[in-house]
Amino acid sequence: MTEIAVGPTGKLMRRDVVKALLENRDGMLAIGGLGAPAWDITAAGDSPLNLPLWGGMGGAAVMGLGLALAQPERKVCVITGDGEMLMGVGSLATVAVQRPRNLSIVVLDNEHYGETGMQETHTKHGVDLVMMAKGAGIADSRLVRTAEELLKLRADIHAGNGPLFAQVKIDEGTQPLVLPPREASILQARMREAIMGPEAHLQ
Amino acid sequence: MFPANAQEDDMQREQLESAPTAAEAWPDQIYDLLKQHGVRQVGLVPDAGHARLIKRCLADNDMKVVSLTTEEEGVALAFGAWLGGEKSVLLMQSSGVGNIINMLSVAIAHRTPCPIIVTMRGDFGEFNPFQVPMGNATQACLEAMGTLVKRADRPEDVADTVNATLRLAFNTYRPTATLLGQRLLGAKTFGK
């Protein structure tokens, strides 16, 4: 099992968090929100089961919803950032109303817009995404600060008792770029093929 | 100016919402087309013009109807659905087109089928000034973002036009839209 280190701020290191969540994933599909979460899921090991986003800011959670509704037998984990989640925060209500058991939304919260010069996000100033998710109706919404809490989160994600929302406080330090393929039609087609086989291309 | 009684209130509300009469067949024709094309997910922000179609979809256990907080979620939903092998459609009013512009880049870049059926406001005899700017710009905005747009203004044109929009989306992998004109939807009742 991946060791989950803490950074200089005493918060969890994002790459370790994502690697732990995706380890022994058993076919779990992952959507990575644009920016650092997309690099994080790629650093954990690029795979057709990964859909790293190069755009669509604010849409990651509902992309996960559409995928989870289409593939109810598969786990779907959306891993995104605090800025991306804040832009589409109404989607928590849309997800909650649909109650997809196989969907988890994990926000890697470094309290900054990391790709644009580390400007502070609202979470730096007390905005509580867990409370917003709870208020939207996602009963299992939790704050994760420690390695122990993260391992519990991992177990619950893999158990499939969603919908589940987690805000994981992470160290704000920037990690080396690990870029996924940028040709988005390939990213889409490879995940479809991983799920449905070659028939996917004849749909 | 406020309505003096309930009957007058109903009349004004009907004007504001420009609901089609229940007798019209085209909403059922759209529903039949969604079934023929195997659409399984229906994302929507409601509009009076879509009311009958929405009811039909809600009554269908093989369709997952997803009510959205904003139209841009519908493009994201379409992408997620297609990743998982399901066809979707997005139902909305023309004012919602302003909310989906950037998210269309997701469907364009990934080559995702994303058919959209838009009921028009601000189009033909509009009553509400706020509907006119977006209504007037709806087609231009969609086309500026690479969406193939077809338009139906007469009941007899709706089925063929929507069918073309669905076929173009699912056969050629891109966002497409049918605009259902306000003339079709019943805004003509304003001209009293």
**Res B11 pLDDT > 70:** no
- The C-alpha angle with vertex A160 and arms to A27 and A190, in degrees rounded to 5, equals 25
In a domain, B7, yes or no: no
Chain B residue numbers touching A64 (CB-CB < 8 A): 80
In a domain, B125, yes or no: yes
What is the C-alpha separation between A54 and A137, in angstroms, rounded?
29
In a domain, B72, yes or no: yes
Chain A residue numbers touching B67 (CB-CB < 8 A): 94, 97
A188: nearest CB among B40, B86, B111: B111
Domain count along chain B = 1
In a domain, B150, yes or no: yes
In a domain, B163, yes or no: yes
Closest C-alpha among B138, B154, B159 to residue B34: B159
Q: Do A62 and B80 touch (CB under 8 A)?
A: yes
Which of A28, A65, A187 best tests the B interface by mutation, with the highest count of B CBs <10 A? A65
pLDDT at A55: 97
CATH of the domain at B135: 3.40.50.970
The share of chain A scoring above pLDDT 90, in percent, equals: 98
- Token representation of residue A88: 């589409």
**Is the CATH number 3.40.50.2000 carried by domain A14-202?**
no
Q: Which residue intervals of chain B are DSSP H helices?
A: 6-17, 26-36, 51-58, 72-83, 97-100, 104-110, 132-144, 155-172, 182-185
In a domain, B34, yes or no: no
In a domain, B152, yes or no: yes
Report how many Cβ contacts below 8 Å link chain A to chain B.
123
Domain housing B72: 40-184
pLDDT at B186: 74
What is the ipTM for the molecules in this complex?
A: 0.98
- Token representation of residue B148: 């193939």
In a domain, B8, yes or no: no
Closest chain A C-alpha to B109 CA, distance in angstroms: 6
List, for residues B37-95, the tens digit of each pLDDT value.
Answer: 999 999 999 999 999 999 999 999 999 999 999 999 999 999 999 999 999 999 999 99
List, for residues A177-193, the tens digit of each pLDDT value.
Answer: 999 999 999 999 999 99
CB contact A51 to B (< 8 Å): yes
**Res B8 pLDDT > 90:** no
The residue with greater pLDDT, A75 or B126, is: A75
List, for residues A25-63, the tens digit of each pLDDT value.
Answer: 999 999 999 999 999 999 999 999 999 999 999 999 999
